[in-house]
Structure 1
Amino acid sequence: MPKDDLTPKDPHDRLFKRVMSDEANVRQFIKEFLPKELSSQIDLKDMKLIPTEKVKGYNKYYMDIAVECKIANSKGQLYFVFEHKSYPDPGILLQILSYMAVLWDEQRKKNIPLTPVIPVVIYHGDSSWNVTTHFQGQFDSLNESVKPYIPEFNYVLIDLTRFSIKEIEERAETTPFLAGSLQLMKLVAMQDIKGIMGVAVIAELPKEEKMILFLYLYYTLDVDQRTMQRIVKELGGEEIMPSLAEKLQNAGKQKMLIKLFRRKFGLTSLEEKKILSVNDESKLDAAAEAILDAKSKEEVLKLLEL
């Protein structure tokens, strides 16, 4: 799927993944948003992103990434989880434990030393995070005699609701795309249109990154077309308005085609991704017309191929 494609299904996740796929953004985030006593122990020069899909048997959490790095001169991992629900999810602690257990089991089977995993939860809902930050804290009552036998770990919480827009800008000063993305994530959760139009850093971004952020706003803001155009104009997006309009038109056709497929034939997740990767308007139109009389979905999907 094109890296700038933000579908209505998961725009928050796609923006998070796009921002954090750039190691410069990850380094800046670690340096400026993690606790200093931890970030000072991480070798930012010697780190690499790890696809969590490669951890076999792990029931992937859709909004997570992992970073392999040296922590206090020893090999370790930072496991980032991005939470965008309007309310904090207590199940996040079990999700983190699941990742740790599967990773360590895989390392054990390969007869390699277990590496420490430091979980980092990034939250941008419309209310403050109120879930305990340590595993044992989720039990209603835990007798002192029982505690030694129950797993215990903490996670680092980055609650964007507690950061001001100015503070985000200052902490991500050297990485404008990271700064603009985090600011919009915070403001979108509150549907703060005035605040969004004040995110000045967006005007300085390259066209590609502007497009990514405008698509994100289109799919996450509850505003009419006129207001959306005013936002794009205010944020320095006039030059890409024609391209943005074309992308949005194609996105609407992709969405309609997926609905038609689901009603007539059904769709696998891979087939849906294939449709979402097609940006050729003529192919989308041809497939939408053909599906009405098609006897199998394969003959329609062929029309979408290169």
Structure 2
Amino acid sequence: MSSVTNPHDHVFRQTFGQPEVAAGYFRHNLPKELLKHIDLETLERTPDTFVDPELHPSASDLLYTVDWSPARNSGASQGKEKLLLYLLLEHKSYADPLAVFQLLRYMVRIWEKHCGEHPKTTTLPPVYPMIIYHGARPWRYPVNFHSLFTVQEPALLAHLPEFSPVLQDFSQLDDQDIRGGVSARTVLLILKHVFRDDLPERLPEILAQAGEMLENKNGREIIFTLLYYLTEGTGKLDEKTLGTVLENSVHGGGIMQSFLKKYYNQGLEQGVQQGLEQGVQQGMQQGVQQGVVQGELRVLSRLLRKRFGELPEWAEQMLKEASGAMLEVWSERILTAVTLEDVFAE
């Protein structure tokens, strides 16, 4: 993730791009007047992005459709027409004075696409635009479109487009006021504290509240994504600090071991792939074996440095001379070792 230009946008798309996470967020943050008309069980993410290609490094949009029933939960007879409500999420880690204009461009493209797919339509589906913001400073710009015009003459403004997206500035909310399902709330809390010095102190409590996420594969993947975001993506925590932080968490030991194990396995898979490529010229079996050893050595060295700092000469020498079997033993020890000596103990 360290190669990602904007890790904040990346982790937002990786987490809120999952319908169950987004549904948990919408369930707690949409107005009741809207919730009584929609069925979040029908929530579906559209594969399209409406961000300009040149804006991809600095902008991120997520679009969901959901069934809209005009008489839902009202006791009246249901209409036969299936209507759609587009839920547009725009993520910001910095205050953008032209964010409202950016959203309008997305909305126009959504409607253009709709008209292209329904050439005989005479109506447009509604779009509910939301800005999720967690920057280091409070959002200070107006969030209505008319505020962007240089002339504020009412007689002129009456003939210009106007709309106001919903702005949710999580950077200014108390933690207890951040609402959402467990997954969505965990993501939002980490996004809020990522710009703050209190992140190491707050992380154990955040993870403790997210304990139920560890009970299913998807939840564990989200936790892993967030920890990777904090270490590799943003550099806010190194693995050694993360290990210390997680020791103060109810679920810390299990999370840390899972995190390091998956981190290790990813590197090992890369090593195997390199071995397969080498095997084309060197012989398949020999190439795979060399690739596995190289992958283990590279990842183990990286993890050791991130967890214990720069390696002394004796440790470097032991790594160079180690067999594949010994590298595997040391890789397992790093999951529970307290000191560097513990990893290399006889």
TM over 0.5: yes
For residues 196-215 of structure 1, the aligned pairs below 5 Å read: 196-199=203-206, 200-206=208-214, 207-215=220-228
Partner-residue secondary structure (3-state), 1:119: strand
CA distance in 2, matches of 1:7, 1:164: 32
Which residue of the other structure, out of 143, 167, 178, is the alignment partner of 2:153?
143
Q: Would you say 1:33 and 2:29 are equivalent positions?
A: yes
Q: 2:199 aligned with 1:195, yes or no?
A: no
Q: Secondary structure at the match of 1:46?
A: strand
> Are the equivalent residues in 1 in contact too, given 2:4–2:10 (CA < 8 A)?
no
Question: 1:71: Cα distance to partner?
Answer: 4.3
TM-score, structure 2 length as denominator?
Answer: 0.63
Task: Please name the residue that 2:337 is paired with.
Answer: none
1:107 equivalent in alignment to 2:103: no
Deviations 1:153-195 (A, max 9, x none): 1101111123221222xx33xx322221111111112242212
C-alpha offsets along residues 90-118 of structure 1, whole Å, 9 cap, x if unaligned?
12112111112222223334233311111
Provide the C-alpha distance between the structure 1 equivalents of 2:4 and 2:243, rounded to a whole number of angstroms.
18
The equivalent position to 1:229 in structure 2, one of 227, 238, 243, is 243
Please tell me whether the aligned partners of residues 39 and 67 of structure 2 are also in contact (alpha carbons under 8 angstroms).
yes
Contact 1:49 1:67 in 2 (8 A): yes
Do the aligned residues in 1 keep the contact of 2:86 with 2:128 (CA within 8 Å)?
yes
Q: Does the Cα contact within 8 Å between 2:15 and 2:222 map onto a contact in 1?
A: no
Secondary structure of 2:225 counterpart: helix
In structure 2, C-alpha distance between the alignment counterparts of 1:129 and 1:43, rounded to whole Å? 31
The whole-number CA distance in structure 2 between the counterparts of 1:10 and 1:36 is 34
Determine whether 1:238 maps to 2:253: yes
- Aligned pair in 2 of structure 1 residues 244, 285: CA closer, same or farther (>3 Å)? farther
Q: 1:46 to 1:8 in 2, by over 3 A?
A: closer
2:162 aligned to which of 141, 152, 163? 152
Partner residue in 2 for 1:77: 86
Q: RMSD of the alignment, in Å?
A: 3.2
Please tell me the residue identity of whatever aligns with 1:238: G
Once structures 1 and 2 are overlaid, which stretch shifts more, 143-152 or 241-250? 241-250
Q: Counterpart amino acid of 1:202?
A: A
- CA distance in 2 between counterparts of 1:213 and 1:155 reads 27
Residues 34 and 18 of structure 1, relative CA distance in 2, 3 Å threshold: same
Number of residue pairs the alignment of both structures matches: 253
Contact 1:76–1:117 (Cα < 8 Å) also in 2? yes
Query: Of the two structures, which has the highest relative contact order with CA contacts closer than 8 Å and spacing of 6 or more?
Result: 1
* CA 1:140–1:15: 2 relative to 1, 3 Å: same
Structure 2 counterpart of 1:98: 105
**Alpha-carbon distance in 2 for matches of 1:39, 1:156:** 15
Letter of the structure 1 residue corresponding to residue 27 of structure 2: K
> 1:137, CA displacement in angstroms?
1.2
Task: Find the residue that maps to 1:43 and give its secondary structure.
Answer: strand
Tell me if the contact between 2:230 and 2:237 (Cα under 8 Å) persists in the aligned partners. no
5+ residue gaps, structure 2, are 71-82, 215-219, 279-290, 292-346
Name whichever of 177-186 and 9-18 sits farther off: 9-18
- Give the aligned residue type for 2:167: L
The one-letter code matched in structure 2 to 1:177 is S
Residue 62 of structure 2 corresponds to which residue in structure 1?
A: 65
Q: Which amino acid aligns with 1:63?
A: S
252, 257, 270: which one pairs with 1:280?
270
* Aligned-pair CA distance for 1:84: 1.4
The AA in structure 2 aligned to 1:65 is L
Structure 1 unpaired stretches of 5+: 254-277, 290-302
Q: Any conservation in 1 of the 2:133–2:170 contact (CA below 8 Å)?
A: yes
| Distance 1:234-1:221 versus aligned 2 partners, 3 A rule | farther
**Contact kept in structure 2, 1:34 and 1:156, CA below 8 Å:** no
Taking a change above 3 Å as real, the CA distance of residues 80 and 147 of structure 1, as seen in their structure-2 partners, is: same
Q: Which residue of 2 aligns with 1:265?
A: none
The amino acid of 1:117's aligned partner reads V
